[in-house]
Structure 1
Amino acid sequence: MRTQPVLVFDGDCGFCTTSVRFAERRLRPRCESVPWQLADLPALGVTQERAEHEVLWVTPTGTVYGGAQAVAKALLSAGGGWSLLGASLMLPPVRWVAQGAYRLIAVNRHRMPGGTPACALPNRGTHGRP
């Protein structure tokens, strides 16, 4: 059984990897960070499709938070002022704005600093979530 949360991110995305490494150095969230490509996704209760589309925070009990809520959970775990920011991201209407901003960044991550064409989300047609 896991004793700490797991932050699952896209290890093929330069922007995602740079963001997680920055958070590890500066924010120090209390979690294990692992690229989805190296994670045991079934053991975490996560599908590859979901892991391809958003950062995930998996609690030791198996609850999965995605997107902006995963970021909020990481901030909460970092403590100090970061936890206040994380808490605010969990509350409506800030939560709704944060999720919208997260989606905008996620679909454009290949254009962000450190991003490459490999960072582009898989094309799932009109049925997939960016």
Structure 2
Amino acid sequence: MSTFVYDGDCAFCTRCAEFIERRIPTDARVVPWQFADLDQLGLTEAQCEEAVQWVGSDGSRASGPDAIAALLASSGPVWRIAGVGLRIPPVRAVAWPAYRWVARNRHRMPGGTAACSLPQETRDRLYGPSGG
């Protein structure tokens, strides 16, 4: 079974996962990394803290917007089209910077809380000293 892994400590991420579970028909498990068997999935905490992760039933792996595209591709026809669209090179080129911006600002997003904010040290490591 395919698995989509997100940060369960982040309210914004959890709200997005709840949306997926309610609105996007997929057979994939949608699970917070804190409750996933990361060893079995071949993932590390660092990978899961950095971005959402996809582990396909076929062994494929993806992270960030590529993981979202894989999840969408595993769902119903309308969402599948969105997943294909997210993989088009010009769209994908914009998706990664947009994903990183959302990740840095997820505590400011609807449903986000201060708990969603990555520690400054982590933001600096991932995105550079300015966090932007």
TM-score by length of 2: 0.89
Of residues 34, 37, 44, the one that matches 2:34 is: 37
Please tell me whether residue 99 in structure 1 is matched to residue 108 in structure 2: no
Shift of 1:125: 6.0
CA distance in 2, matches of 1:116, 1:5: 29
CA distance in 1, matches of 2:77, 2:27: 12
Gaps of 5+ in 1: none
- 1:124 corresponds in structure 2 to 122
Task: Say if 1:22 and 1:125 are closer, same or farther in 2 by CA, change over 3 A.
Answer: closer
Is the 1:9–1:16 Cα contact (8 Å) retained in structure 2?
yes
Please tell me whether residue 78 in structure 1 is matched to residue 68 in structure 2: no
DSSP 3-state at the match of 2:31: strand
TM-score by length of 1: 0.90
Task: Say if 1:128 and 1:81 are closer, same or farther in 2 by CA, change over 3 A.
Answer: same
- Higher share in helix: 2
Shift of 1:124: 2.4
Shift of 1:91: 1.6
Q: How big is the alpha-carbon RMSD for the aligned residues of Structure 1 and Structure 2?
A: 1.5
Gaps of 5+ in 2: none
